[in-house]
Amino acid sequence: MNFNELEKTWDRQTVTAENALIAASLSKRLNSDIRHERRRVLGGIVVVAFAVLVGWIVTIGFHFAGIAPINRMTVISLSIGTIIDAAFFILAIRSARRIQSELKASTGTLANSASASLRTIESRMDDTRLAAYGLPLVVVANAALCLVKYSTGDLPGFSALIGAIAVGIFLGAILAAMWWRYRTHLLPRRTELQELLASLHELPAR
């Protein structure tokens, strides 16, 4: 972001039509960033909801087709998966509502837009840090479940090993992508917004 343009907007306490247009353009960009983060959260909810639906359909379909009848271990596995999915949906919906609130708060002055955008970015950073703790726990829980299924004869050793490794790789890739975005986008963006707010506070009052 070019902060020189921003400072020119309030240079010598003068506000012209051109300067107001620059401020409006910056506010529009900041609001667009907030909407983009909201779309990412909602997109994640849709993808996970689709995966959960497909999983249940396949499980029920295999049961009635006699391919993999539902037994005690299946119920335990589905219960654990449902708890994990429910936790994700609760956190994701909370994040989406928080971002929606920031979008409403971003109206008005450029400072309002910058503050709301900064809070949104910090919220997404908190989500990433939470995932950094949560996803490894899911990997461990899945590996333990595969081990239990192997010990009860529900899964052969090779299938249990492949299942644990596949889930670990999948969730590890998701975590790596989130952490890469954290380092390359969220951290630099937070710095930009902090600098923007600092420059706004340093400008003389209207």
* Residue 65 pLDDT grade (very low, low, confident, very high; cuts 50, 70, 90): confident
Matching residue, tokens 């936790």: 87
From the CB of residue 204, how many other CB atoms can be counted at a distance below 10 Å? Answer: 8
171 or 6: which carries more pLDDT confidence? 171
Report the C-alpha gap between 29 and 56 in whole angstroms. 41
Distance CA 117, CA 29 (A): 10
The amino acid present at 169, given as its one-letter code, is I
Task: Report whether pLDDT(89) > 60.
Answer: yes
- The pLDDT confidence band at residue 111, using thresholds 50, 70 and 90, is confident
Mean pLDDT of 21-37: 82
Please list, in sequence order, all residues whose beta carbon lies within 8 angstroms of the beta carbon of residue 91, skipping any fewer than 6 positions away: 127, 130
pLDDT, the chain, mean: 82
Going by pLDDT thresholds of 50, 70 and 90, the confidence category of residue 11 is very low
- The residue among 11 and 105 whose pLDDT is bigger is 105
Task: Please report which confidence band the pLDDT of residue 137 belongs to, taking 50, 70 and 90 as the band edges.
Answer: very high
Average pLDDT over residues 135-146: 89
Question: Residue range 104-125: average pLDDT?
Answer: 89
Report whether 121 contacts 40 (CB < 8 A).
Answer: no
Q: What is the DSSP string of 95-128?
A: HHHHHHHHHHHT-SSHHHHHHHHHHHHHHHHHHH
Q: Residue 33: pLDDT above 70? A: yes
| Alpha carbons 99 and 143: distance in angstroms, whole number | 34
Of 105 and 66, the structure prediction assigns the larger pLDDT to 105
pLDDT at 20 over 90: no
Q: Assign residue 35 a region: left if phi > 0, alpha if psi is -120 to 50, beta otherwise?
A: alpha
**For the chain, what percent of residues have pLDDT higher than 70?**
86
Q: In sequence order, which ranges of the chain are alpha helices (DSSP H)?
A: 3-9, 17-65, 72-105, 110-151, 157-181, 187-202
What token pair was written down for 7? 């400072």
Ramachandran assignment for 14, one of left (phi > 0), alpha (psi -120 to 50 degrees), beta (any other): beta
Chain centroid to CA 111: 25
Give me the residue label for tokens 């995966």: 51
Is it the case that residue 139 has pLDDT exceeding 80? yes
> What are the tens digits of pLDDT across the range 143-172?
888 888 888 877 787 777 888 898 899 999
d(CA 150, CA 161): 9
Query: What pLDDT score was predicted for residue 95?
Result: 94
